RNA sequence: GGGAUCGUCGUCUAGCUUGGUAUGAUACUAGUCUGGGGGACUAGUGGUCGCAGGUUCAAAUCCUGCCGGUCCCA
């Protein structure tokens, strides 16, 4: 490795894919595992996940959802119970066929998702309307064999996620739950990660296999590709019937229950890296940053060192009282310049420099990671740092919103669509609702219907492909 | 399924044609000087050359098979 190789060696604009991989590895968020398609989360990566997890948990709990845990193995007979669902997942299921030297009778799937397992249990647990609603969330991993094009966090054969599964007495209540979850997802992603999302429905073609409909949140990445950030499904009675999730109502008549399922994965971390990172490396939104403020002390000799370290310690205590996550980089063997670059690579939102000049001036140097601005702050103003962190969080979302807006275009003509789709971006274009048009567009351009935004339905326009009456204006884009 | 290409200290890499003590950088360890944007010098640690066979006095190098990675085509 040459000197340059310590940092990111490619530009985000020039080689986005290589840039992304380098940021993940060099910022030490994750590393490759010995098995293709699998990654290892390192502490800096895992703590971002933990931060998201605790935010979601807080919101889930206040919505009456509790956590549970499901085993990883699902017998084939169970997984195959809902036919479409099984057909959809089958190609990417990992199977356990042996225990020791013995072949197992019913093959065991490493869960690609847990609907079938959860609902087998739910049917035992639910008898009466008094048992409803039943709302449980599971934090675990899912396994889906990905052969080609794997990318850390974005496409891996095993991924960390949460899957929530709720059961309701009425269709109306279940559908409300679907929307409630989607709202939680949207707010969390925007507020914590600073990534704007568009919410709406998936087309019939793109919906979750086995669902009545799928709601989704989609984001546009800086390279112009769309990323699915999370989904919330209305399952209707599609699973309650085969799995016999039934309850006796107040009038003692037995009904099949109405169900929902929903999930977000560590893909959100990938989206955060792509949205905010730059040629220097990672840029972390303050709310999820494991370290929010790093202090680099600068000194020439031992007596200066003591003086500066005691000041630095004072600042640390001051910030910690405000619940700011602070780290002092007192590695003596490294030069300040090295440390600056190192912490920028890791995306720490604020760096404070304290050296002899600062002590003299009774101030500190403060450098913001997201815009790389340096300024000074007097000793008496150190309390302002928590406000500055809030401002950074806000303006990161604002910048991302502007970027997303610039990458979203309205299109009515298919010829124009075809000529512009290569540049990437979100394209809002009228559509007749027919599968045939959707498939042709996919075939000819590689672009999918990512989301049919809420409020874009019932439009009086012409389908950009067949020119018949349109039923909505979906967002078309190439996806990850 | 077809084709191409590559596996050498933690990482990147030279050596392979023409067989003979495995090269350099970086990282790591120790020390001295340094220190406000990736610092210098000195010394040191680290490799059964992807695996298994074969040829040979001798194999990272030649031959065969296997395993793994990457890319292209269907």
pLDDT tens for chain A, 480 residues long, are: 344 467 888 888 888 888 888 899 889 998 887 777 888 898 999 999 999 999 999 999 999 999 999 999 999 999 988 888 888 888 888 888 888 778 888 899 999 999 999 999 999 999 999 999 999 999 999 998 877 777 889 888 889 999 999 999 999 999 999 999 999 999 999 999 999 999 999 999 999 989 999 999 999 999 999 999 999 999 999 999 999 999 999 999 999 999 999 999 999 999 999 999 999 999 999 999 999 999 999 988 777 888 899 999 999 999 999 999 999 998 888 999 999 999 999 999 999 999 999 999 999 999 999 999 999 999 999 999 999 999 999 999 999 999 999 999 999 999 999 999 988 999 999 999 999 999 999 988 989 999 999 999 877 899 999 999 999 999 999 988
Contact between the CB of A147 and strand B at under 7 Å? no
Q: A228, A450 in Cβ contact below 8 A?
A: yes
Contact between the CB of A341 and strand B at under 7 Å? yes
Q: A213, A201 in Cβ contact below 8 A?
A: yes
Measuring from the CA of residue A332 to each C1' atom, give the nucleotide at the shortest distance. Answer: B35
Q: What pLDDT, on a 0 to 100 scale, did the predictor assign at position A110?
A: 92
**CB environment A6-19: b (16+ within 10 A), e (fewer):** eebeeebeeebeeb
How many Å apart are A7 CA and B25 C1'?
Answer: 16
Q: What pLDDT, on a 0 to 100 scale, did the predictor assign at position A457?
A: 86
φ and ψ at residue A212, rounded to 5 degrees: -75, -50
How many Å apart are A157 CA and B8 C1'?
Answer: 30
Contact between the CB of A367 and strand B at under 7 Å? yes
Contact between the CB of A224 and strand B at under 7 Å? no
How many Å apart are A75 CA and B7 C1'?
Answer: 39
How many Å apart are A333 CA and B29 C1'?
Answer: 13
How many Å apart are A26 CA and B21 C1'?
Answer: 37
Which runs of consecutive H residues, i.e. helices, occur in A370-476?
A: 385-406, 414-420, 435-445
Pairing of strands A426-428, A408-410: parallel
Q: What pLDDT, on a 0 to 100 scale, did the predictor assign at position A1?
A: 37
Measuring from the CA of residue A376 to each C1' atom, give the nucleotide at the shortest distance. Answer: B36
Measuring from the CA of residue A341 to each C1' atom, give the nucleotide at the shortest distance. Answer: B38
Q: What pLDDT, on a 0 to 100 scale, did the predictor assign at position A450?
A: 96
Residue nearest to nucleotide B26 (CA to C1'): A1
Q: Which of residues 272-301 of A touch strand B (CB under 7 A)?
A: 280, 298-301
Report d(CA A233, CA A159) in Å as an integer: 19
Q: How deeply is A159 buried, as exposed, middle or buried, from its count of CB atoms within 10 A (0-12, 13-18, 19+)?
A: buried
Helix (H) or strand (E) holding A268: helix A267-276
How many Å apart are A147 CA and B1 C1'?
Answer: 16
Measuring from the CA of residue A354 to each C1' atom, give the nucleotide at the shortest distance. Answer: B36
Tokens representing A397 are: 């979302």
Q: State the angle between helix axes of A171-193 and A43-62 in degrees (0 to 180), rounded to the nearest 10.
A: 140
Distances (CA, A) of A217 to A177, A273, A404, A451: 16, 18, 14, 8
How many Å apart are A33 CA and B9 C1'?
Answer: 21
How many Å apart are A37 CA and B54 C1'?
Answer: 36
- CA atoms within 13 A of residue A469's CA, in its CB half-sphere: 5
Q: Which nucleotides of B are covered by protein (CB under 7 A)?
A: 10-12, 25-27, 34-39, 68-71
Q: What pLDDT, on a 0 to 100 scale, did the predictor assign at position A446?
A: 87
Q: What pLDDT, on a 0 to 100 scale, did the predictor assign at position A18?
A: 82
Contact between the CB of A340 and strand B at under 7 Å? yes
Q: What pLDDT, on a 0 to 100 scale, did the predictor assign at position A3?
A: 45
Q: Which of residues 5-24 of A touch strand B (CB under 7 A)?
A: 5-8
Q: A296, A340 in Cβ contact below 8 A?
A: yes
**CB environment A116-127: b (16+ within 10 A), e (fewer):** bbbbbbbbeebe
Tokens representing A99 are: 């225990």
Report d(CA A166, CA A6) in Å as an integer: 47
Cross-strand bridge partners of residue A354: A297
Q: How deeply is A338 buried, as exposed, middle or buried, from its count of CB atoms within 10 A (0-12, 13-18, 19+)?
A: middle
Contact between the CB of A304 and strand B at under 7 Å? no
Q: What pLDDT, on a 0 to 100 scale, did the predictor assign at position A138?
A: 98
Contact between the CB of A337 and strand B at under 7 Å? yes
In 3D space, the residue among A249, A244, A232 whose CA is nearest the CA of residue A163 turns out to be: A232
Contact between the CB of A303 and strand B at under 7 Å? no
**Domains, chain A:** 3-276 (3.30.930.10), 291-390 (3.40.50.800), 408-477 (3.30.110.30)
Q: Which of residues 250-269 of A touch strand B (CB under 7 A)?
A: none
ipTM of the complex: 0.83
Q: Torsion-angle region of residue A101: left (phi > 0), alpha (psi -120 to 50) or beta?
A: alpha
Contact between the CB of A389 and strand B at under 7 Å? no
Contact between the CB of A374 and strand B at under 7 Å? yes
Report d(CA A168, CA A304) in Å as an integer: 67
Q: A166, A68 in Cβ contact below 8 A?
A: no
Q: What pLDDT, on a 0 to 100 scale, did the predictor assign at position A2?
A: 42
How many Å apart are A302 CA and B44 C1'?
Answer: 28
Q: A428, A410 in Cβ contact below 8 A?
A: yes
Long-range residue pairs from A304-312, CB within 8 A, at least 24 positions apart, any chain = A304/A356, A307/A359, A308/A354, A308/A355, A308/A356, A308/A359, A311/A354, A311/A359, A312/A354
Residue A474 DSSP label = P
Other CB atoms closer than 10 Å to residue A300's CB: what's the count? 10
Report d(CA A100, CA A446) in Å as an integer: 45
Contact between the CB of A74 and strand B at under 7 Å? no
Measuring from the CA of residue A367 to each C1' atom, give the nucleotide at the shortest distance. Answer: B37
Measuring from the CA of residue A355 to each C1' atom, give the nucleotide at the shortest distance. Answer: B36
Q: A295, A315 in Cβ contact below 8 A?
A: yes
Q: What pLDDT, on a 0 to 100 scale, did the predictor assign at position A5?
A: 62
Residue A94: partners with Cβ closer than 8 Å, 6 or more residues away = A109, A110, A143, A145, A157
Measuring from the CA of residue A364 to each C1' atom, give the nucleotide at the shortest distance. Answer: B36
How many Å apart are A148 CA and B71 C1'?
Answer: 12
């Amino acid at each position: 490795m040459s000197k340059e190789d310590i940092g990111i060696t490619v530009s985000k604009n020039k080689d986005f894919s290589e840039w992304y991989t380098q940021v993940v590895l060099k910022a030490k968020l994750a590393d490759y595992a010995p098995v293709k398609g699998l990654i290892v989360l390192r502490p800096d990566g895992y703590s971002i996940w933990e931060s998201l997890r605790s935010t979601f948990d807080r919101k889930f709990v206040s919505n009456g959802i509790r956590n549970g845990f499901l085993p990883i193995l699902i017998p084939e007979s169970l997984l195959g119970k809902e036919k479409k669902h099984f057909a959809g997942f089958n190609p990417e299921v990992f199977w356990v066929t042996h225990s020791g030297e013995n072949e197992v009778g019913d093959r065991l799937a490493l869960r690609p998702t847990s609907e079938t397992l959860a609902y087998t249990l739910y049917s035992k647990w639910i008898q009466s309307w008094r048992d409803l609603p039943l709302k449980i969330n599971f934090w675990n991993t899912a396994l889906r064999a990905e052969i080609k094009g794997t990318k850390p966090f974005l496409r891996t054969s095993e991924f960390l996620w949460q899957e929530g599964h709720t059961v309701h007495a009425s269709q109306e209540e279940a559908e409300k739950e679907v929307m409630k979850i989607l709202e939680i997802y949207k707010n969390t992603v925007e507020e914590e990660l600073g990534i704007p999302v568009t919410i709406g429905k998936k087309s019939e073609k793109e919906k979750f296999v086995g669902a009545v409909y799928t709601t989704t949140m989609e984001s546009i990445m800086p390279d112009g590709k769309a990323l699915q950030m999370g989904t919330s499904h209305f399952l209707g009675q599609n699973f309650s019937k085969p799995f016999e999730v039934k309850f006796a109502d107040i009038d003692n008549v037995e009904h099949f229950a109405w169900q929902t399922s929903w999930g977000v994965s560590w893909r959100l971390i990938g989206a955060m890296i792509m949205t905010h990172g730059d040629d220097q490396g990672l840029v972390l939104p303050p709310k999820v940053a494991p370290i929010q403020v790093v202090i680099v002390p600068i000194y020439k000799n031992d007596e200066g060192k003591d003086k500066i370290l005691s000041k630095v310690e004072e600042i640390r205590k001051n910030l910690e009282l405000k619940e700011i996550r602070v780290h002092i980089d007192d590695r003596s063997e490294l030069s300040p310049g090295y440390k600056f670059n190192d912490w920028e690579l890791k995306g720490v939102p604020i760096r404070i420099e304290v050296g002899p000049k600062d002590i003299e001036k009774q101030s500190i140097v403060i450098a913001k990671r997201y815009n790389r601005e340096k300024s000074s702050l007097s000793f008496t103003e150190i309390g302002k740092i928590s406000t500055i962190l809030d401002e950074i969080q806000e303006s990161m979302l604002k910048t991302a919103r502007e970027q997303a807006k610039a990458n979203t275009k309205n299109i009515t003509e298919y010829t124009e669509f075809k000529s512009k789709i290569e540049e990437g971006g979100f394209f809002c274009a009228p559509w007749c609702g027919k599968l045939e048009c959707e498939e042709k567009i996919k075939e000819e351009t590689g672009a999918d219907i990512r989301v049919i935004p809420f409020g874009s339905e019932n439009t009086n326009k012409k389908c950009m492909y067949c020119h018949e009456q349109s039923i909505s204006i979906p967002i078309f884009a190439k996806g990850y």
